[in-house]
Amino acid sequence: AEKLRKKIIEKTKKEVKEKLGGKEGHIVKAINMLEDLDLTFNMLFEAVRDWYSLHFPELFKLVKEPEKSLELIANLTTREQFSMENILRYYGNEALAKELEAKAKESTGAEISKENANQIKAIAKKVLEIKECREALSKMLEAEMLAEIPNLTKVAGAFLGAKLLRETKSLKRLAFLPSSTIQLIGAEKALFKHLRSGTKPPKHGMILQHPLMRKVKREHRGKMARALANKISIAAKADYFGKKDISSALIKELEEKAEKLK
């Protein structure tokens, strides 16, 4: 009984380590953190925009990029500071800077107290710091993945590759999955709905996030998803069984396939 207990414990330890051990575990935690940072950034940006719109609503109609509008708020803050000279320090579009200056002078927004302006300024700076953290983590994740699983990273992309690892729990499991299963990872709800109520079966899951999927015609997405799943499966096997980089050949075939399906 004691021998059996030890064997079970050892087997369990091995399985736990295999599932999300070492580098793979860090990759999954990093992609989770990236998604959390994106959600946090978007939520806080919306809050800053809602509050600052009371003072200068026209800013967000002219400046569409969240980071740029936050940078202007963090550095200029009140409408009185939106001179063309000041704007151009943080936003290099001369025509838009001129328009912003004009809108600041004739804004429909309300006046703002020094206390409120300082609070919005401080929060805008913190939100920008979150974005900086996100970008640094993104670079680290990609570098780590290229070092550990180069084929999967280059074929699927760092973010999609990390998400596939998260869903399958390990590189080993991903490498041994049939490509038809890889194709539908992330489409579990749609698949269950199909099985339960006879709706159309899903043609792809999170593989839809791959840049090449946006290059093909909508009616050809199923074919492109199959091709991608097949190459991702080959890439995962190449990484699991050795470190030979075969990604260039796989990417070339995928790009040729996408070209045919345009």
Reading the chain (262 residues) residue by residue, the pLDDT tens digits are 666 556 655 655 555 455 545 678 899 999 999 999 999 999 999 999 999 999 999 999 999 999 999 999 999 999 999 999 999 999 989 999 999 999 999 999 999 999 999 999 999 999 999 999 999 999 999 999 999 999 999 999 999 999 999 999 999 999 999 999 999 998 766 666 656 776 676 678 899 999 999 999 989 999 999 999 999 999 999 999 987 999 999 999 999 999 999 8
What DSSP state is assigned to residue 177? Answer: S
1.10.287.4070, 3.30.70.1290, 3.30.200.20, 3.40.50.300: CATH of 1-148: 1.10.287.4070
Helix axes 22-52, 2-20, angle to 10 degrees: 50
Domain ranges of the chain: 1-148, 149-262
Q: What is the architecture of the domain spanning 149-262?
A: Orthogonal Bundle (1.10)
For tokens 């030890």, what's the residue?
6
pLDDT at position 23 is 74
- pTM, two decimals, is 0.83
**Angstrom distance (rounded) from CA 81 to CA 66:** 19
The pLDDT of residue 186 is 86
Instruction: Give the residue among 206, 259, 204, 255 at the shortest CA–CA distance from 231.
Output: 255
Give the model confidence (pLDDT) of 164-221 as tens digits.
999 999 999 999 999 999 999 987 666 666 567 766 766 788 999 999 999 999 899 9
